[in-house]
A and B are shown apart, each in its own frame.
Chain A
Amino acid sequence: MMQAIKINHRIIKEALRIRKVEEKFLQLFSQGKLNGTVHTCVGQEFSAVAFAGQLKKKDFIFSNHRCHGHYIAFTGDVRGLLAELLGKASGTSGGIGSSQHLCHHNFFSNGIQGGIVPVAAGYALAGKLKNNGAIGIVFIGDGTLGEGVLYETMNILSKWEIPLLIVCENNFYAQSTPQHINLAGDIQARARAFGIRTFKGNTWEPELLMEQSAEAIAFVRDQQKPCFFQVDTYRLNAHSKGDDDRDPEDVALHRQKDYLHIFQQQSPSYYQMYEEAINQEIDAMVEEIFKESDLPIEKYFQPSTRTDDREWKTLEPVNKRQVELINTFFQEKLVSDERTVFLGEDIHSPYGGAFKVTKELSFLRPERVFTTPISEAAVVGISNGLALNGFRPITEIMFGDFMTLAMDQIINHASKFHHMFNRKVNCPVVIRTPMGGRRGYGPTHSQTLDKFLVGIDNVKTVALNTFIDPALIYRSVSSEEHPVIVIENKTDYGKKLLHTRPRNFTCQANGDPYPVVRISPAVSAPTLTLVAYGGMADMAASLLETIFSETDLLAELIIPSLISDLPLDILTESASRTGRLVVLEEGSPFGGIGGELIAGVTEKADVKIRVRRIAALPVPIPSVKSLEHLVLPEKNRIIQELKESF
């Protein structure tokens, strides 16, 4: 039986503390002492107290841009919050995150609307896998009801029975836009459509809200199922600061309804006593925090210096197809490492994924292999949440083209968590996807969009090839502490390792965690440095003899595996020797890796090097074979462009 909770002065004080802290922020802001912006929840405090304040320590919260109340109610860390907004090193995120990006133990917030919902789902799923009885709450606003990823996640929450409580703080405005302009239908009906139990309450009746929230929390914990709670409330201040076009009468009306206001009217002496004590406490903290220093840049950012290994070892062919080698590694990994979780569309066996990379996995450890709905954004978001909560998710995006659907989760979440939470957390998520054409799949199933991925800070992008054992690469990937994207290639899956061995060339690889392959003339000195990666590597190797025969250029082919941080020393040495550098790309050239690679080599080289990019034509890849052949870099065009260039 639920214990009835009566509203008491502790609750009032908690809400009042939140209000006073936020009023302090507004005051500091108007004095020019806050950098950036704040979104206050003045008027909504009882939602924070009712939900965040009634969780257990092992539980977690994901919040949004309007997160101060949730933070204080859950963590009690007023000082960390004040220091954070004042930009000090002792702030909860070291001053990096400020108002919208807080992290303290199991509390996280992010300024992207809706993006935290699948992350919270993943975090909750991790708790369920650990069977530790922890549950979580994710706070959204009614404005977030416009985000699609919310519905992708609600579908999965319900289907997978993930213990997460979604609290929708319905303050009737999305920034400045009244709800009736943007919101169709009913709020609770949205959740009910997914079979999720819903509650409804409001902040004007805090005693009732406390009871309802306790019931919802207990439901999620006991049933290990999601729940959706609509809290009607009203924000008494602007969305941020000064951007308020609401009817002043309406605001004034709600100010009268505000429970803290009523308490002030009814018990002025108590109110005054509490207010003074809280203000005193806040002022003392602020005074002290002002004396502190900011985070030094060295603590935030250390440039990484890449040194390439120079021990070259000769590669031997392996009589196994690439897809078998990946699959074998995954099977072993899944069994040997309990943190490994696989997610992806259609990955359950016997189907085993569109390209059979995940074959047998769900037979081996069904509890850690999730075949997902067609919801790339939510699936990658859930993977992020699993990674934040100690797991090592390996997530498949069925076709590389679909990576765009998950980009928000990669760029605004996985990539940023570590730094924006001042290095308190790591997000070692692995996202793997096949790219490449030559299968006739047409414009949306053939593109190589590596160039959109290699520029994401703190995310490594690796391209497999048919020369290095993929198990070696995935072993390195598994030991990374930060996100990794692995690009596989559809046409390489069926090839055996080193099946292309050009005559009179030697195939070697260095000892980097992501080895660099070098295919050089056996004896003679090369006169051209050719770079290819991913699916182009095999093709480039098969062309070496023809290139020599037809262009008189004797190429040294260099194949990087890690394409987000190129082996520039090796490339520069080779290109300086040969004086010619050509990059083959399966994507179109503008803004691509070829441009980046050539710029990097040119910065390092002491000699003049003649360069060329040979890439796909800048149009969607046609399905019809004859045209697909012409759009992607193929033999005749490569030979012709080489002849034109040198």
Chain B
Amino acid sequence: MALLQQIPVPLLAVNDTTLTVVEITRRSGEPVRKGDQLMVFETSKTTYEVVAEADGFVEFLCEVDGDYEVGAVVARIFSEAAEVATRQAPAQPGRSEQPVPPASKDIALAVWEGETLFSQAALQMMEARAIARGSFAGRDFVSARDVEALEAGLKKPATSAGNPSGDGPARRQRPVLPADPSRVIIEKLTSGKRREIEYLSEVQSTGLTSTLHTFFETRGIFGHINHSMQYLKNSLLPVICYETSRLLRKYPALNGYFTGEAVAYYREVNLGFAIDIDKGLKVLKLGAADSLSLPEIEQEIMRLSNQYLDDKLDIGDLTDITFTITDLSGEGVSFFKPLVNKMNSAILGVSSIDEQLKRCTLSVTFDHRVSEGKMVARFLSDLKGRLESYQSRFHPAVHKEITCFKCFKSLQEDLGDTGFVQCITPQGQEAYICQSCLKGF
């Protein structure tokens, strides 16, 4: 007789305090073997499969579509079938008599085999809410906070609309229905959408955000950029990622977040770029982007996009993003206000290039509790300057006469970024030579 494994809700992404059980692949009481898939969780960003780590009999303490707090035990494996049977059917989220271990992030996942001690406050709450002591089996101490956490873990407010006290920090509203409900079609929010609301609410709901826009000149810019690009020709995203990540070192306040009482500055620059091609909106991570070269950034963008399309993203590709770029340049947008993600302090939006005016709008929405307009304006101005430096640097009219004396390529035509070398020809004339002719192809 032994409890072989407890399966808690895993901490997959720092932002996810709850996960949704999207699939339970076995039934309580069934024998399982080590390595069998038991259930699937969904985070805001990916899915996660849980497999058995021991041979035994599984007991589920959760249901499909239920949201459970990280750390809450949602399944267990016992050595004997009888042990499962004594524990009744799985918990109904929202009710409390069943033995569902509570959720609390602080709880170590070790199991306590001794008796459980309850604080008086906890006992009072349990009595008021008809929660049995057995609900806390395997715990050393149960405080009022633990009872609250248990309740929170049991509830499934998202699926039972109208319950305002819910899981986590998402501020859910009472549903607004027309007088005649038949006039509308009500479709349940996906858990992904619910989390999107939660994440964007975190910063935006304070109302303390502001957005600044600027534009940068794009005339002649791709000649230069495309030269460095292998796949993503005529795309601004790689170079914007490249320049932004470097610039963020200078503006740490934009690479951090407001903790509630302090400002946290991330030590790394993990740039996120939003992508939404049929598979839902995701933000993919360019880890340590400030240390990647431009070709490396391009490669990484390609790799992540392919993973996204193949549904093969790792959790690591989606988490710990410190600054986000959302690129709507393919959508004909002239300017827009991007929304800051949870645990970020700013986001950069890239609009479409205006082909007539040869310019493109950059927009930064920022958390005013962390930074302020003047700083962001400087950031935008710096970014604009950096991007415009990719334009052909020399005005054609001025430098027309600079050509390689060997291959007669003009400086304007040259796509390298080193320029030409002044030299003396074998005839003793002052002239210019291009890098290709100087070093050989």
Contact = CB atoms under 8 A, between A and B. Distances in A.
B143 A552 contact: yes
B112 interface: yes
Given A549-B117, A552-B144, A554-B143, A525 B112 contact: no
B119 A503 contact: no
Contacts of B120: 549-550, 552
A503 B110 contact: no
A323 B119 CA distance: 36
Contacts of A548: 117, 119, 141, 143
Given A548-B143, A551-B119, A552-B143, A523 B106 contact: no
Contacts of A22: none
B189 interface: no
A608 B259 CA distance: 13
B117 A523 contact: no
B144 A525 contact: no
A552 B108 CA distance: 18
A523 B121 contact: no
B119 A523 contact: no
Given A550-B120, A554-B141, A554-B143, A525 B107 contact: yes
B401 to A, nearest CB: 62
B139 interface: yes
Interface in A139-164: none
A527 B139 CA distance: 16
A558 to B, nearest CB: 18
Contacts of A608: 261
Interface string B134-152: 0000011101111000000
Contact of B119 (A504, A522, A525, A552): A552
B108 A523 contact: yes
Interface in A505-529: 521-525, 527
B89 interface: no
Given A503-B114, A504-B141, A548-B143, A524 B119 contact: no
Given A552-B122, A554-B143, A525 B117 contact: no
Contact of B140 (A521, A551, A552, A553): A521
Nearest to B138: A523
Contacts of A524: 106-108, 139-141, 143, 146
Contact of B112 (A523, A549, A552): A523
A258 interface: no
A360 interface: no
Interface in A522-566: 522-525, 527, 545, 548-554
A504 B115 CA distance: 8
Contacts of A545: 117
Nearest to A606: B262
A628 B122 CA distance: 34
Secondary structure class of chain B's binding surface, majority of residues: loop
Contacts of B115: 503-504
A545 B140 CA distance: 11
Contact of A527 (B110, B118, B140, B143): B143
Interface string A51-93: 0000000000000000000000000000000000000000000
Nearest to B123: A549
Interface residues of B, number: 22
Given A550-B120, A552-B119, A552-B120, A522 B112 contact: yes
A574 to B, nearest CB: 14
Contacts of B140: 504, 521-524
Interface residues of A, number: 17
Contacts of B119: 548-552, 554
B106 A522 contact: no
Contacts of A552: 119-122, 143-145
A548 to B, nearest CB: 5
Nearest to B142: A524
Given A504-B115, A550-B120, A523 B143 contact: no
B108 A525 contact: yes
Contacts of B112: 504, 522-523
Contacts of B107: 523-525
Contacts of B118: 549
A631 to B, nearest CB: 28
Nearest to A527: B143
Contacts of B121: 552
Contacts of A523: 107-108, 110-112, 139-141
A320 B32 CA distance: 51
A551 B141 CA distance: 13
Contacts of B110: 523
Nearest to B108: A523
Contacts of B146: 524
B342 to A, nearest CB: 21
Nearest to B122: A552
Contacts of A550: 119-120
A13 to B, nearest CB: 76
Contacts of A554: 119, 141, 143
A552 B143 CA distance: 6
A549 B121 CA distance: 8
Interface in B340-394: none
B138 to A, nearest CB: 9
Interface string B115-135: 101111110000000000000
Nearest to B111: A523
A504 B144 contact: no
A521 B139 CA distance: 11
Contacts of A551: 119
Contact of B114 (A522, A549, A553): A522
A524 B108 CA distance: 6
Nearest to A577: B106
Nearest to A503: B117
Contacts of A527: 143, 145
A314 to B, nearest CB: 15
Interface in A219-235: none
A548 B120 CA distance: 8
Interface in A272-313: none
Nearest to A551: B119
Contacts of A553: 143
B287 to A, nearest CB: 26
A504 B142 CA distance: 11
Contacts of B114: 503-504, 522
| Residue from B121, B139, B140, B261 with most neighbouring chain A CB atoms (10 Å) | B140
| Residue from B115, B117, B118, B140 with most neighbouring chain A CB atoms (10 Å) | B117
Nearest to B146: A524
B181 to A, nearest CB: 44
Interface string B249-278: 000000000000100000000000000000
| Residue from A522, A524, A550 with most neighbouring chain B CB atoms (10 Å) | A524
Nearest to A524: B141
B358 to A, nearest CB: 50
B259 to A, nearest CB: 10
A206 to B, nearest CB: 79
Contacts of B144: 552
A550 B117 CA distance: 12
5 smallest CB-CB distances across A and B, nearest first, come from A525-B106, A552-B121, A552-B119, A523-B140, A504-B140
Interface of B: 106-108, 110-112, 114-115, 117-122, 139-141, 143-146, 261
Given A525-B107, A545-B117, 13 more contacts: A504-B140, A522-B114, A522-B140, A523-B108, A523-B140, A527-B145, A548-B119, A549-B118, A549-B119, A550-B119, A552-B119, A552-B145, A554-B141
8 contacts: A504-B115, A522-B114, A522-B140, A524-B107, A527-B145, A548-B119, A548-B141, A552-B120
